[in-house]
Structures are given as structure tokens and as C-alpha cells.
Structure 1
Amino acid sequence: MSKRRSLRILMIRLGAMGDVVHALPSLQKLREFFPESELDWVVEEEWSPLLEGHPALSHLIVLPRKRWQKSWRRRPLSTLWQVWDFLKRYRRKKYDVVLDLHGNLRSGVMALLARSKAKFGFWRKASKEGNHRFLREVPVPLHVHKIEKNLYLLQRVFGLPFSPPSCATFPPFPPLGVEILRWWSSIPQPRIFLHPMVSRYGQIKQWPLPFFARLAELLSLKLNAGVILGYGPGEKKQLEELRSLIQVEVFPLPRLLSLPELVQLLARVDFFVGCDTGNLHIASALGVPALGLYGPKSVDIYGPYYPNAEALFSSSRPCLPCNLRLCPYGRNISPCMEELTPELVFAHIQRRLERQ
């Protein structure tokens, strides 16, 4: 397609945090090659603050799915009216191309409901839940990083040249508030951000909390680092459990941060350590020196992508990477994650900081 051709393009990537960040290079690529086109994006409400006001976007379509689920039992008629109103507005615009970068049943339904005769998504080997039945299947490589998988879809649909991105661009966010800045100024350098928790669907990726506690102590005692403890919605109890295990001064986030606040705070830290979570991928996309702790998941597909980030992973087990959600050994913590000792992780961080 001509670089100057004006199109109406709809991107579908509903969530989650890390996957929305992984789709940003595709948005940037489309804007680069179709500067006059309308580029819209459908995303679930929870993750929309990561995209609001993005300079490459024409319109952001926010899907309040979880809000509808909560209100359905109490106000079913009102909820039905909200869904109907959303669908009317959603179908008002006709698109030249719809791109499904999500690849599951929900995104397939959103593609089906969109007004377009050209709907493209990943072929059945690279999607799930029957997503391929709702659109035209596009073959993409299977064992590449998720960022590159998205870009290969653009290459096959539009003929765009494939080039790995060196960074991701976030929208401009409001400045951090005085409360956060005062807390930040009280933390000694180097400021090292630990994000110990994973989502309830990703428990197989969890590094043990006692290991995080020991790592925090090593960083504080041996490097005089200011150790920041991050947490997300519903993780306050785990944070308190972790704090009870740590025998040195640490700096938990003063409150639950909004996504724009989180992005801005991560951009300031000297180093980030965490499991395979959206926080790790935001830090990586910002160019922050980062270390991801991996076990069951393939680093080639799910690892931190950008140059300043690395992954530390166990390679001693023949079952790795299994890419499963439940460990077949029936353990709460995957044995492969336990093989990454706090001392091993600390030594890696120390070497990285010495090179910076």
C-alpha cells in the first residue's frame, strides 16, 4: 500500500498491561507509514490510561467490560442500555482495515462487530479460543517475541518493512504530584524498584517472597541502595507480608499509583527487578536498566525486549520453557523459579550497576 494513502484503521488490543505496551511499536509503525490515516484503538477501560492522549492515535475506544460485569446483577436493564449505546457508537464508523493484535475470543467478537470488509488477525496456530473464525488468518512466525509477532502482522497485511523497534513511545502524562515527589526525594541512591507480585493468573511466574526479602536486604546492606517496593491492585496484603520478612529499611509505594504515575516513576529509577509482569515491560520500554526473573515462560517470546533490559532464567530443567499456567509438579512456587537464588540475582544486579 502507498505510504501516503489515507485509511481508516482499527487496532484491537484489549489488554493486559504488558501486551498493550507491546502493541505500541505497531501503532508507531502505522502512524509512520500512514501519516494521514485515522488510527483508532479498542482497549479495555483498565488499561486505557496508558493510551489516552497518545500522539499517534486518532481515537481511543474504551471498552468498560469489567464495569458492565459488576453492574449486571444490580442493574441489568441499565447495563444492557449501556452495552447497546456502546455498540451503536462503535459501529458508527466504517473502517478500511481492522487489525486484531489480541487473538482471543473477546477480541474476535470485537472484530466481528466492527464495520469493515477487511479484518485481519493471527492464524489459528498463533491465536486461541477460535479467534481465527472471526477474521482473515495471517501466518506469522510462532517463536518470536510478541512485539515482533505484531509487526509481522503489519508486514503481511500492509507490506510494511519489518524493523525491530528500539523503544516505545508513551503519551504525555501530567507531572507527578507533590506527595509522590516528597516521598521520592527521601529515598537514597541508587534507587532500585522491586515489583515482587504477579497476577493471580500468573502464579507459575512468581519468584518466592522470601527471596525478594533477602534480595532487598542484600541491596540495602551491600550497595546502600534505596529499595522501593511496588504493588498493584489487590496486592496490599502480599506487600505487608513481604515487609514483615525484611529486616532493613525499605520504601514501599506511599499509595496505589495510577498507570500514568507508575510510568513516570519507573522512568526515574536506577534499576528495576521483577517477574514477567506489565511493570517489567514498561520499565524495559522506557529504557530503564531492568532485570526480569524467568522460569516457565520463554524469554524469546515473553522476555523484556529493549536493549537495557535482560532476563535471568533457569536453564537446568529439560521441561523449560513449558509456557504453562500451572506447574505439573504441583508446587505453589515453580521449582525453576526457586533455582534463581537471591545471591545469584544480587550478583547480576551488582555487575550491571558497575557497568552503568
Structure 2
Amino acid sequence: MKILLVKLSSLGDVVHTLPVVQDILAARPDAQIDWVVEASFAPLLTPLLGSGLRNVIPCELRRWRKSPFSPATRMAWRAFMRELQSQHYDAVIDLQGLTKSALVAWLARLAPGGQRYAMANQTEGSGYEAPTRWVADVAVTLAPHSHAVQRGRALCARALGYTPAALPDYGLNRAPALAGQAPAAPEIIAFVHGSSRADKLWPLENWLALGRQLMAQGYHIALPHGSDAELAMSQAIAAGLNGEEGDARATVWPRLPLDTLTRQLAQCAGVIGVDSGLSHIAVALDLPHVQIYNFDTAWRTGPLPAAPDASVARQLSVFAQPTPTVQAVVRAWQRCSSVPSDKAA
């Protein structure tokens, strides 16, 4: 069975969709799965090639729409179309629910008897546009109050007729490029301080106070970044933690490609971060992780509990307004860092 998944962006949304690959393979071991994604996020999926995905089809709709009639865009579009339409699919599943993903789903070719599937309705806090159901042969009604991970899993399960496992498996720990990664020595905690939204950020003084407490416990601090503004923040945190005495236990990582950055995170003892794509990667890697929320939206995008009745978890969200305190984050880290992994490697 040939299946095309359409989930283009953004980074966090792509991470939340990863479990559908393992769900499908558990139900249909012979499935051949392709995925259309924005090119900037394709490196996250490449470790799954050969251990879940057959092919990753990158596109650049975000860039193409800025200059739709330029020779470079027309050439890139033709190349994308050749790759997209090189296969005939038994199922095309639009997991995005937007006009751009509906267009991609409509352009994909179906095998005889094949069908296009999409969401029939918006779910709370998520974007949705009507063309997604106009294009679909089968529109699946979903619970209006759904976690982002569970929404995608439910759509694929209903479309393909199976019951998914209770807990999501993101598949990254099965990928040859990431499986068996041991934490680096000395133990490193990555601070994911950057987000595309300023109102999700945590104050500099909080990162400094948190870093000092963790460094007093023997941890080193890693500071990834993905933009010039995030680099400046990483440098400010490192300068504040290392001080004038030349302590070098807070390190600003170079700006890394997404696949390399994922491998680096996999070697950390854990991650503490705001609601962002890198924080969601930490969850997918099953690292001890605390996710910081200034808004009560962790029910939709934050870490899922390890089990419905679990009293402890390796990933926890902390919410308060205007922002969580340092001590609340420290307590959450102490709880999640003491919980062993129970996921397959």
C-alpha cells in the first residue's frame, strides 16, 4: 500500500505528526510511506528513511509564493511536480488542513481505487481552511478539543481503519542515525530559549538563575540558536553564566542543520525550553524535558503524559502567568530527570 502524508510545516507541527508513521507501519507493515514537507524541515525526516519512510518530498511553497513567476520558481515547481507525481498512491492524507496542503493533496496522483483523506472540521487552537475538505474524497470528523499529536494519529487511524497504540512512538529512537546515542560527558542540558513568538519567551534573568542552579549541580549548559536574535540571547546567557572568571561550562553551539542539531540534542542529558520546535524534538527523542508555557495551551502542544494514570513523566510542562518561576522549573526538572525511559530504542 502506497501512502502519501502531507504535512508541510511548521517544525513543531511536523514533530507532532511523526507518530503517524509508526502507527501506520504497526497496522500495515507493508506500507510504503512518502511525506511532503517544506524543505527547511526535511532534515528532521531524513533519519527515518529506510526505517519508516520510503521517500521525503521537499517543497518550498513559502519561498515560491514570494516570486511565483520567476524562472527559478518555475523550474523548482516543475521538479517538485515530477517527484510528487512519479507515484500513484492508494491513500493521500492531508494532515495540515490548510489550502496549501489541499493543493498538494489534489496534485498528487491516486492509484485505481485510491482516495484522498482530510479533516472535516477545525479543532480548538488549530488553523483550518475549507479547501481541505473540498479536495478530500473522505473527510474525517475529529474531536474538537484534541492534542496536536492525537489529532494526526486519529485522522490516519480513521482513514486507514486501524486502532493506534495508546502511547505515541515518534520513531526517532529507531532511526539508525539516532538510535543508541549516549548522553555526552559531562552531562549537558540544552536551553531552548528561542521561539518565533516573543510572548512565548522566558526572561534572561530566569535563564541565568536556572543555569546557575544547574551548574552548581555539575551540569554544563548548551545554547542552540536558529536566528541572529537567538544567537544574541545565547551569547548573553553564556556570558552571564561563565562570568568574568573564565568558566566555560555554558557553551553557545554553532548554528547547525536540523538533522545535526537533532543528533546533538540526542546526546544531551535533557532539555529545558519554551514552547518551540526544538522543545518538541526533545519530547520526540524521549529526553528528560521541561516545557515552559506563559499561556494555558500545554494541553494542545505540550508533552503528553507517559500513561493515562502516570504520576511521573520524563517530559513535563510548567504553566503560569505572566511566566513560570525559576523554582517551578527546577522542581519540574528534578521530577522528570529522575524518570527512566520506557520507550523502545
Q: Which TM-score band applies after superposition, normalised by the shorter structure?
A: 0.7 to 0.9
How far apart, in 2, do the equivalents of 1:281 and 1:342 lie? 21
Residues 155 and 354 of structure 1: CA distance in aligned 2, closer, same or farther (over 3 Å): closer
Amino acid at match of 1:63: C
* Cα-Cα RMSD: 2.7
Q: Which residue of 1 aligns with 2:101?
A: 107
Q: Which residue of 1 aligns with 2:236?
A: 241
Following TM superposition, by how much is the alpha carbon of 1:69 offset from its aligned partner in structure 2, in angstroms? Answer: 5.6
Q: Which residue of 1 aligns with 2:190?
A: 193
How far apart, in 2, do the equivalents of 1:162 and 1:89 lie? 30
Amino acid at match of 2:57: I
Q: Which residue of 1 aligns with 2:343?
A: none
Segments of 5+ residues of structure 1 without an aligned counterpart are: 1-6, 176-180, 315-335
How far apart, in 2, do the equivalents of 1:129 and 1:89 lie? 26
Q: Which residue of 2 aligns with 1:287?
A: 286
How far apart, in 2, do the equivalents of 1:119 and 1:55 lie? 25
Structure 2 residue 22 is matched with structure 1 residue 28 = yes
Give TM-score, length-normalised by structure 1. 0.79
Runs of 4+ in 1 over 6 A off after TM superposition: none
Give TM-score, length-normalised by structure 2. 0.82
Following TM superposition, by how much is the alpha carbon of 1:233 offset from its aligned partner in structure 2, in angstroms? Answer: 3.5
Q: Which residue of 2 aligns with 1:326?
A: none
Amino acid at match of 1:311: S
Segments of 5+ residues of structure 2 without an aligned counterpart are: 307-313, 341-345
- Matched residue of 2:122: which SS? helix
- Matched residue of 1:124: which SS? coil
- Matched residue of 2:139: which SS? strand
- Matched residue of 2:162: which SS? coil
How far apart, in 2, do the equivalents of 1:242 and 1:195 lie? 11
Structure 2 residue 137 is matched with structure 1 residue 133 = no
Residue 199 of structure 2 is aligned with which of 197, 204, 208?
A: 204
- The answer (yes or no) to whether the contact 1:9–1:98 under 8 Å persists in 2 is yes
- The answer (yes or no) to whether the contact 1:9–1:37 under 8 Å persists in 2 is yes
Residues 29 and 67 of structure 1: CA distance in aligned 2, closer, same or farther (over 3 Å): same
Following TM superposition, by how much is the alpha carbon of 1:349 offset from its aligned partner in structure 2, in angstroms? Answer: 2.3
Amino acid at match of 1:220: M
- The answer (yes or no) to whether the contact 2:178–2:263 under 8 Å persists in 1 is no
**Per-residue Cα deviation, 1:107-156 (whole angstroms, up to 9, x for no partner):** 11111211235111112223513333332321111222211111111222
* 1:58-137 → structure 2 map (5 Å cutoff): 58-66=54-62, 68=64, 72=67, 76-116=70-110, 118-126=115-123, 127-130=127-130, 131-135=132-136, 136-137=138-139
Q: Which residue of 2 aligns with 1:214?
A: 209
Q: Which residue of 1 aligns with 2:226?
A: 232
Structure 2 residue 309 is matched with structure 1 residue 311 = no
Structure 2 residue 39 is matched with structure 1 residue 45 = yes
Residues 354 and 304 of structure 1: CA distance in aligned 2, closer, same or farther (over 3 Å): closer
How far apart, in 1, do the equivalents of 2:289 and 2:29 lie? 33
How far apart, in 2, do the equivalents of 1:219 and 1:132 lie? 49
Residues 263 and 146 of structure 1: CA distance in aligned 2, closer, same or farther (over 3 Å): same
Residues 254 and 88 of structure 1: CA distance in aligned 2, closer, same or farther (over 3 Å): closer
- Matched residue of 1:57: which SS? coil
How far apart, in 2, do the equivalents of 1:125 and 1:68 lie? 27
Amino acid at match of 1:224: G
- The answer (yes or no) to whether the contact 2:224–2:253 under 8 Å persists in 1 is no
Identity of matched residues, %: 25
- The answer (yes or no) to whether the contact 2:6–2:36 under 8 Å persists in 1 is yes
